[in-house]
Structure 1
Amino acid sequence: MNPRHLSRIAGISYVIIFFAAIFANFFVLEKLLETPVETVRQDQVMVRLGILAFLLTVVFDVIVAWALYELYKKHPLSGLSTSFRMMHAAIMGVAIFALPMALTSTTESEILAIADTFNIIWLIGLFFFGIHLILLGRIVKTPRIIAFFLMVAGVMYMMDTTAHFLLADYNSYKTLFLALVAIPSIVGEMSFAVWLLLKGGRN
Protein backbone atom coordinates (compact mmCIF):
# COMPACT_ATOMS: atom_id res chain seq x y z
CA MET A 1 0.00 0.00 0.00
CA ASN A 2 1.49 3.33 -1.02
CA PRO A 3 2.05 6.16 1.50
CA ARG A 4 -0.77 8.29 0.09
CA HIS A 5 -3.32 5.54 0.70
CA LEU A 6 -1.98 4.95 4.21
CA SER A 7 -2.23 8.66 4.92
CA ARG A 8 -5.86 8.77 3.79
CA ILE A 9 -6.72 5.73 5.89
CA ALA A 10 -5.17 7.37 8.96
CA GLY A 11 -6.95 10.67 8.27
CA ILE A 12 -10.38 9.08 7.74
CA SER A 13 -9.91 6.94 10.87
CA TYR A 14 -8.98 10.03 12.86
CA VAL A 15 -12.18 11.79 11.76
CA ILE A 16 -14.29 8.75 12.72
CA ILE A 17 -12.60 8.63 16.15
CA PHE A 18 -13.23 12.34 16.63
CA PHE A 19 -16.99 12.20 16.01
CA ALA A 20 -17.52 8.84 17.73
CA ALA A 21 -15.71 10.07 20.85
CA ILE A 22 -17.68 13.32 20.96
CA PHE A 23 -20.98 11.44 20.72
CA ALA A 24 -20.03 8.75 23.25
CA ASN A 25 -18.46 11.11 25.78
CA PHE A 26 -20.55 14.28 25.66
CA PHE A 27 -23.95 12.94 24.56
CA VAL A 28 -24.01 9.60 26.37
CA LEU A 29 -21.49 9.43 29.23
CA GLU A 30 -22.15 12.96 30.47
CA LYS A 31 -25.91 12.31 30.40
CA LEU A 32 -25.35 9.07 32.30
CA LEU A 33 -23.45 10.98 34.98
CA GLU A 34 -26.08 13.75 35.26
CA THR A 35 -29.22 11.59 35.35
CA PRO A 36 -28.07 7.97 35.86
CA VAL A 37 -31.30 6.11 36.55
CA GLU A 38 -33.45 8.11 34.12
CA THR A 39 -30.92 7.66 31.32
CA VAL A 40 -30.67 3.89 31.81
CA ARG A 41 -34.45 3.47 32.00
CA GLN A 42 -35.55 5.87 29.28
CA ASP A 43 -32.60 6.05 26.87
CA GLN A 44 -31.20 2.52 26.77
CA VAL A 45 -30.79 2.69 23.01
CA MET A 46 -28.68 5.85 23.41
CA VAL A 47 -26.49 4.18 26.04
CA ARG A 48 -26.00 1.14 23.79
CA LEU A 49 -25.07 3.39 20.88
CA GLY A 50 -22.61 5.17 23.14
CA ILE A 51 -20.95 1.86 24.04
CA LEU A 52 -20.77 1.00 20.33
CA ALA A 53 -19.24 4.42 19.61
CA PHE A 54 -16.55 3.82 22.23
CA LEU A 55 -15.83 0.44 20.64
CA LEU A 56 -15.44 2.13 17.25
CA THR A 57 -12.89 4.54 18.72
CA VAL A 58 -10.80 1.56 19.83
CA VAL A 59 -11.06 -0.18 16.45
CA PHE A 60 -10.04 2.92 14.51
CA ASP A 61 -7.37 3.79 17.08
CA VAL A 62 -5.66 0.52 16.16
CA ILE A 63 -6.05 1.32 12.46
CA VAL A 64 -4.49 4.77 12.99
CA ALA A 65 -1.62 3.19 14.95
CA TRP A 66 -0.96 0.73 12.11
CA ALA A 67 -1.21 3.33 9.34
CA LEU A 68 1.07 5.82 11.11
CA TYR A 69 3.62 3.09 11.82
CA GLU A 70 3.66 2.12 8.15
CA LEU A 71 4.02 5.77 7.14
CA TYR A 72 6.86 6.59 9.53
CA LYS A 73 8.44 3.19 10.23
CA LYS A 74 11.86 4.42 9.09
CA HIS A 75 11.92 6.85 12.03
CA PRO A 76 13.62 5.34 15.12
CA LEU A 77 10.78 6.46 17.43
CA SER A 78 7.95 5.06 15.28
CA GLY A 79 7.79 1.65 16.94
CA LEU A 80 7.80 3.15 20.43
CA SER A 81 5.11 5.68 19.50
CA THR A 82 2.93 2.91 18.04
CA SER A 83 3.38 0.79 21.17
CA PHE A 84 2.09 3.56 23.43
CA ARG A 85 -0.93 4.14 21.18
CA MET A 86 -1.69 0.41 21.20
CA MET A 87 -1.41 0.43 25.01
CA HIS A 88 -3.99 3.21 25.07
CA ALA A 89 -6.32 1.26 22.77
CA ALA A 90 -5.99 -1.90 24.88
CA ILE A 91 -6.70 -0.06 28.13
CA MET A 92 -9.65 1.72 26.54
CA GLY A 93 -11.00 -1.66 25.45
CA VAL A 94 -10.80 -2.89 29.04
CA ALA A 95 -12.57 0.25 30.30
CA ILE A 96 -15.51 -0.33 27.94
CA PHE A 97 -16.19 -3.70 29.59
CA ALA A 98 -17.63 -1.82 32.59
CA LEU A 99 -20.27 0.15 30.68
CA PRO A 100 -22.74 -2.64 29.73
CA MET A 101 -23.23 -3.37 33.44
CA ALA A 102 -24.92 0.03 33.75
CA LEU A 103 -27.77 -1.26 31.58
CA THR A 104 -28.81 -3.76 34.26
CA SER A 105 -28.17 -1.52 37.26
CA THR A 106 -31.14 -0.09 39.13
CA THR A 107 -29.65 2.39 41.57
CA GLU A 108 -27.89 5.70 41.03
CA SER A 109 -24.90 4.69 43.18
CA GLU A 110 -24.30 1.54 41.10
CA ILE A 111 -24.46 3.40 37.79
CA LEU A 112 -22.18 6.18 38.99
CA ALA A 113 -19.69 3.61 40.33
CA ILE A 114 -19.62 1.92 36.92
CA ALA A 115 -19.10 5.27 35.15
CA ASP A 116 -16.32 6.15 37.62
CA THR A 117 -14.60 2.81 36.97
CA PHE A 118 -14.73 3.47 33.23
CA ASN A 119 -13.35 6.99 33.67
CA ILE A 120 -10.47 5.92 35.92
CA ILE A 121 -9.32 3.19 33.52
CA TRP A 122 -9.76 5.57 30.56
CA LEU A 123 -7.63 8.21 32.31
CA ILE A 124 -4.81 5.71 32.75
CA GLY A 125 -5.01 4.96 29.03
CA LEU A 126 -4.89 8.66 28.18
CA PHE A 127 -1.60 8.99 30.06
CA PHE A 128 -0.01 6.56 27.59
CA PHE A 129 -1.81 8.25 24.71
CA GLY A 130 -0.16 11.50 25.79
CA ILE A 131 3.26 9.88 25.49
CA HIS A 132 2.28 8.69 22.00
CA LEU A 133 1.35 12.23 20.95
CA ILE A 134 4.64 13.65 22.23
CA LEU A 135 6.58 11.04 20.26
CA LEU A 136 4.35 11.56 17.21
CA GLY A 137 5.12 15.27 17.26
CA ARG A 138 8.83 14.43 17.21
CA ILE A 139 8.31 11.99 14.36
CA VAL A 140 6.11 14.16 12.11
CA LYS A 141 8.16 17.37 12.44
CA THR A 142 6.39 19.05 9.50
CA PRO A 143 4.14 20.97 9.45
CA ARG A 144 5.90 22.30 12.55
CA ILE A 145 2.81 23.99 14.02
CA ILE A 146 0.88 20.70 13.95
CA ALA A 147 3.82 18.83 15.48
CA PHE A 148 3.99 21.48 18.22
CA PHE A 149 0.29 21.17 19.10
CA LEU A 150 0.51 17.37 19.10
CA MET A 151 3.31 17.51 21.67
CA VAL A 152 1.51 20.12 23.79
CA ALA A 153 -1.66 17.99 23.71
CA GLY A 154 0.38 14.98 24.82
CA VAL A 155 1.82 16.87 27.78
CA MET A 156 -1.65 18.11 28.75
CA TYR A 157 -3.12 14.58 28.66
CA MET A 158 -0.38 13.38 30.99
CA MET A 159 -0.80 16.37 33.32
CA ASP A 160 -4.58 15.88 33.49
CA THR A 161 -4.28 12.20 34.41
CA THR A 162 -1.62 13.01 37.00
CA ALA A 163 -3.77 15.78 38.48
CA HIS A 164 -6.75 13.41 38.79
CA PHE A 165 -4.74 11.13 41.04
CA LEU A 166 -2.69 13.71 42.94
CA LEU A 167 -5.17 16.52 43.62
CA ALA A 168 -7.81 15.74 46.24
CA ASP A 169 -9.81 18.78 45.06
CA TYR A 170 -9.41 18.08 41.33
CA ASN A 171 -13.04 19.04 40.67
CA SER A 172 -12.19 22.62 41.63
CA TYR A 173 -9.84 22.76 38.64
CA LYS A 174 -11.80 20.44 36.32
CA THR A 175 -12.88 23.17 33.88
CA LEU A 176 -9.34 24.52 33.61
CA PHE A 177 -7.83 21.11 32.92
CA LEU A 178 -10.57 20.33 30.39
CA ALA A 179 -9.65 23.48 28.46
CA LEU A 180 -5.92 22.76 28.71
CA VAL A 181 -6.48 19.30 27.22
CA ALA A 182 -9.23 20.06 24.72
CA ILE A 183 -7.74 23.10 22.94
CA PRO A 184 -4.34 21.70 21.89
CA SER A 185 -5.86 18.25 21.34
CA ILE A 186 -8.58 19.45 18.97
CA VAL A 187 -6.27 21.87 17.15
CA GLY A 188 -3.38 19.42 16.91
CA GLU A 189 -5.16 16.15 16.17
CA MET A 190 -7.82 17.53 13.85
CA SER A 191 -5.24 19.60 11.96
CA PHE A 192 -3.12 16.48 11.66
CA ALA A 193 -6.12 14.50 10.39
CA VAL A 194 -6.87 17.15 7.74
CA TRP A 195 -3.20 17.27 6.74
CA LEU A 196 -3.13 13.46 6.42
CA LEU A 197 -6.20 13.58 4.18
CA LEU A 198 -4.96 16.39 1.94
CA LYS A 199 -1.17 16.20 1.87
CA GLY A 200 0.16 13.30 3.90
CA GLY A 201 2.23 10.61 2.20
CA ARG A 202 3.13 12.69 -0.83
CA ASN A 203 6.83 12.71 0.00
Structure 2
Amino acid sequence: MAVFHLWKVSQVIQSDSGAAVQVMDNILRFERIWSLGLIVFGIHLIMAGIAASKACFIPKVLSGLLILAGVSYLLIHSMYQAFPQYETSTAAIETILSLPMMMGELGFGMWLLVKGIKVKSSTRPSYLGAS
Protein backbone atom coordinates (compact mmCIF):
# COMPACT_ATOMS: atom_id res chain seq x y z
CA MET A 1 0.00 0.00 0.00
CA ALA A 2 2.80 2.41 0.91
CA VAL A 3 4.84 1.66 -2.20
CA PHE A 4 1.79 2.44 -4.34
CA HIS A 5 2.18 6.09 -3.32
CA LEU A 6 5.79 6.06 -4.49
CA TRP A 7 4.61 4.67 -7.81
CA LYS A 8 2.10 7.54 -7.99
CA VAL A 9 4.97 9.99 -7.42
CA SER A 10 6.86 8.54 -10.36
CA GLN A 11 3.74 8.72 -12.55
CA VAL A 12 3.13 12.36 -11.63
CA ILE A 13 6.77 13.30 -12.31
CA GLN A 14 6.87 11.46 -15.65
CA SER A 15 3.65 13.06 -16.87
CA ASP A 16 5.20 16.58 -16.85
CA SER A 17 1.90 17.88 -15.50
CA GLY A 18 2.73 16.94 -11.96
CA ALA A 19 2.45 19.61 -9.39
CA ALA A 20 4.86 19.71 -6.50
CA VAL A 21 1.87 19.52 -4.16
CA GLN A 22 0.81 16.14 -5.59
CA VAL A 23 4.34 14.78 -5.34
CA MET A 24 4.77 15.91 -1.74
CA ASP A 25 1.32 14.66 -0.76
CA ASN A 26 2.10 11.17 -2.07
CA ILE A 27 5.51 11.12 -0.38
CA LEU A 28 3.93 12.05 2.95
CA ARG A 29 1.28 9.36 2.52
CA PHE A 30 4.02 6.82 1.80
CA GLU A 31 5.90 7.82 4.97
CA ARG A 32 2.75 7.65 7.11
CA ILE A 33 1.70 4.19 5.86
CA TRP A 34 5.27 2.86 6.03
CA SER A 35 5.56 4.07 9.62
CA LEU A 36 2.28 2.36 10.55
CA GLY A 37 3.65 -0.84 9.01
CA LEU A 38 6.75 -0.57 11.18
CA ILE A 39 4.55 -0.22 14.28
CA VAL A 40 2.94 -3.55 13.35
CA PHE A 41 6.42 -4.98 12.74
CA GLY A 42 7.48 -3.81 16.22
CA ILE A 43 4.51 -5.61 17.77
CA HIS A 44 5.50 -8.72 15.80
CA LEU A 45 9.08 -8.52 17.15
CA ILE A 46 7.81 -8.18 20.72
CA MET A 47 5.63 -11.27 20.34
CA ALA A 48 8.48 -13.20 18.67
CA GLY A 49 10.79 -12.17 21.52
CA ILE A 50 8.31 -13.32 24.14
CA ALA A 51 7.88 -16.65 22.35
CA ALA A 52 11.66 -16.98 22.07
CA SER A 53 12.08 -16.27 25.78
CA LYS A 54 9.79 -19.18 26.61
CA ALA A 55 11.82 -21.58 24.45
CA CYS A 56 14.61 -23.17 26.46
CA PHE A 57 16.90 -23.67 23.44
CA ILE A 58 17.00 -20.01 22.32
CA PRO A 59 19.54 -17.82 24.15
CA LYS A 60 17.85 -15.35 26.49
CA VAL A 61 20.09 -12.55 25.19
CA LEU A 62 18.57 -12.94 21.73
CA SER A 63 15.01 -12.95 23.01
CA GLY A 64 15.76 -9.84 25.07
CA LEU A 65 17.24 -8.10 22.05
CA LEU A 66 14.18 -9.03 19.99
CA ILE A 67 11.88 -7.53 22.60
CA LEU A 68 14.07 -4.41 22.80
CA ALA A 69 14.01 -4.07 19.00
CA GLY A 70 10.23 -4.42 18.96
CA VAL A 71 9.75 -1.84 21.69
CA SER A 72 12.13 0.49 19.83
CA TYR A 73 10.18 0.20 16.58
CA LEU A 74 6.93 0.70 18.44
CA LEU A 75 8.21 3.74 20.34
CA ILE A 76 9.92 5.48 17.45
CA HIS A 77 7.18 5.10 14.87
CA SER A 78 4.42 5.85 17.37
CA MET A 79 6.27 9.08 18.12
CA TYR A 80 6.50 9.86 14.40
CA GLN A 81 2.73 9.33 14.12
CA ALA A 82 1.57 11.01 17.33
CA PHE A 83 4.14 13.81 17.68
CA PRO A 84 5.25 14.95 14.22
CA GLN A 85 6.38 18.28 15.69
CA TYR A 86 9.18 16.43 17.53
CA GLU A 87 10.60 14.81 14.40
CA THR A 88 14.19 15.88 15.12
CA SER A 89 14.04 14.47 18.66
CA THR A 90 12.49 11.25 17.39
CA ALA A 91 15.20 10.97 14.72
CA ALA A 92 17.86 11.34 17.45
CA ILE A 93 16.22 8.60 19.52
CA GLU A 94 16.02 6.43 16.39
CA THR A 95 19.75 6.91 15.81
CA ILE A 96 20.52 5.78 19.36
CA LEU A 97 18.19 2.78 19.23
CA SER A 98 19.20 1.65 15.74
CA LEU A 99 22.10 -0.44 17.07
CA PRO A 100 20.00 -2.55 19.48
CA MET A 101 17.31 -2.86 16.80
CA MET A 102 19.86 -4.15 14.30
CA MET A 103 21.46 -6.49 16.83
CA GLY A 104 18.09 -7.99 17.76
CA GLU A 105 16.88 -8.61 14.22
CA LEU A 106 20.15 -9.69 12.61
CA GLY A 107 21.35 -11.59 15.67
CA PHE A 108 18.22 -13.70 15.81
CA GLY A 109 18.21 -14.25 12.05
CA MET A 110 21.85 -15.34 12.04
CA TRP A 111 21.28 -17.59 15.04
CA LEU A 112 18.36 -19.25 13.22
CA LEU A 113 20.51 -19.80 10.13
CA VAL A 114 23.40 -21.29 12.12
CA LYS A 115 21.08 -23.42 14.23
CA GLY A 116 19.18 -24.55 11.13
CA ILE A 117 22.38 -25.59 9.37
CA LYS A 118 23.49 -27.57 12.43
CA VAL A 119 20.12 -29.34 12.74
CA LYS A 120 19.97 -30.06 9.02
CA SER A 121 23.40 -31.68 8.99
CA SER A 122 22.67 -33.89 12.00
CA THR A 123 21.17 -37.36 11.62
CA ARG A 124 17.88 -36.68 13.29
CA PRO A 125 14.90 -38.95 12.55
CA SER A 126 11.91 -37.44 10.83
CA TYR A 127 8.69 -37.16 12.81
CA LEU A 128 6.54 -36.45 9.78
CA GLY A 129 6.26 -40.05 8.69
CA ALA A 130 8.88 -39.74 5.95
CA SER A 131 12.40 -41.03 6.26
Any conservation in 2 of the 1:156–1:180 contact (CA below 8 Å)? no
2:43 matched to which residue of 1? 131
**Greater Cα radius of gyration, structure 1 or 2:** 2
Q: Does 1:120 align with 2:32?
A: yes
Q: Does 1:100 align with 2:41?
A: no
Match for 2:86 among 161, 170, 190?
Answer: 170
Aligned ranges for residues 146-157 of structure 1 at < 5 Å? Answer: 146-157=62-73
Structure 1 stretches of 4+ moved >4 Å: none
Greater RCO, 1 or 2 (C-alpha within 8 Å, sep 6+) = 1
1:164-184 Cα offsets, whole Å, 9 max, x none, are 132242222133232244222
Cα distance, 1:107 vs structure 2 = 3.6
Question: Higher mean Cα deviation, 192-201 or 151-160?
Answer: 192-201
Superposed CA RMSD? 2.0
Any conservation in 1 of the 2:5–2:26 contact (CA below 8 Å)? yes
Whole-Å separation in 2 of the counterparts to 1:191 and 1:163? 26
Structure 1's 168 and 96: CA in aligned 2 closer, same or farther, altered over 3 A? closer
Question: Higher mean Cα deviation, 151-160 or 161-170?
Answer: 161-170
Residue identity in the other structure for 2:99: I
TM-score by length of 2: 0.73
Q: Does 1:199 align with 2:115?
A: yes
Whole-Å separation in 2 of the counterparts to 1:181 and 1:109? 33
Residue identity in the other structure for 1:138: I
Identity of aligned residues (%): 28
TM-score by length of 1: 0.49
Any conservation in 1 of the 2:35–2:81 contact (CA below 8 Å)? no
Aligned ranges for residues 1-203 of structure 1 at < 5 Å? Answer: 94-105=1-12, 106-141=18-53, 142-200=58-116, 202=119
Q: Gaps (5+ residues) in structure 2?
A: 13-17, 125-131
Whole-Å separation in 2 of the counterparts to 1:119 and 1:180? 21
Give 1 or 2: higher helix fraction. 1
Q: Gaps (5+ residues) in structure 1?
A: 1-93
